[in-house]
Amino acid sequence: MTESFDAVAYNRAAWDREVANGNEWTRPAGREVIDRARAGDWSVVLIGYRSVPRGWFPAELSGVEVLCLASGGGQQGPVLAAAGAAVTVLDNSPRQLDRDREVATRDGLAVRTVLGDMRDLSAFPDASFDVVFNPVSTVFCPELAPVWRDSFRVLRPGGILMTGFLNPDVFIFDVEALDERGELVVRHPLPFSSLDLPDDERERSYGTGPIEYSHSLAEQIGGQLAAGFTLTHFDEAPHHADATARYLPGYFATRAVRP
């Protein structure tokens, strides 16, 4: 890959392929999930399969303006809309946004979709939202400071940022050994990006999937604080799909507030 590599374009095409391949995070919520959400029985995830504590959200979602940031796929956005929120979904993948529109059309939901890079929220005015909801997607973003700065800008005072992200330590392990044999072979120094791998090895380990980046906790948590947020809650969970789950948390989640 060259220095002119366009991560946004590459990952846009990669996530469109993930939709075609049936990646679990591209499968839209079923009608029964939406019906339960309309009745007040709803949950969404930030990390793995762990439901976000209801106390992280406003007590009443009706009329709450939510930006689902890099959160296409027809899952979280439609559920929150069915629960009463006014939902906008921004995602880099047109086909992921198609999933949100499919659910919205099927179930009569008002979900606004916007195609874009999570680092650039210029489509939205200042103080547009009450909640920014960002499940594990910063791993596909080359730099995070613009994400936190723009999230802060588009939130109203008192607005909530919820984000889930990968523990960067999971990236020290050789991917082939981890995925094929369940072995934890320490190989990569941090920071790591799958872009650093030779093309043939990246294809063996990641297939045609998106480029990933191992952002440090200083970039993730420190970056939110530097942008002006106040951290209120923290959670962690094992990775739902690999052998690191036996030894360390693979995911972290934070809740922060714009003062």
- Rounded distance between C-alpha atoms, residue 258 and residue 230, angstroms: 6
CA distances to 27, 168, 170, 184, 256 from 248, in Å = 28, 11, 9, 11, 24
Cβ atoms of 190 and 216 closer than 8 Å = yes
Question: Shortest CA distance to 144 belongs to which of 17, 152, 93?
Answer: 152
Domain at 7-166+212-257: CATH architecture? 3-Layer(aba) Sandwich (3.40)
Q: What residue type is assigned to position 152 of the chain?
A: F
CA 4 vs CA 9, 33, 117, 118, 215: distances in Å: 12, 43, 17, 20, 21
10-residue averages of pLDDT along the chain (259 residues): 83 98 98 98 96 97 98 98 98 98 98 98 98 98 98 98 98 94 96 95 95 98 98 97 94 98
State residue 4's pLDDT score.
81
Domains in the chain: boundaries: 7-166+212-257
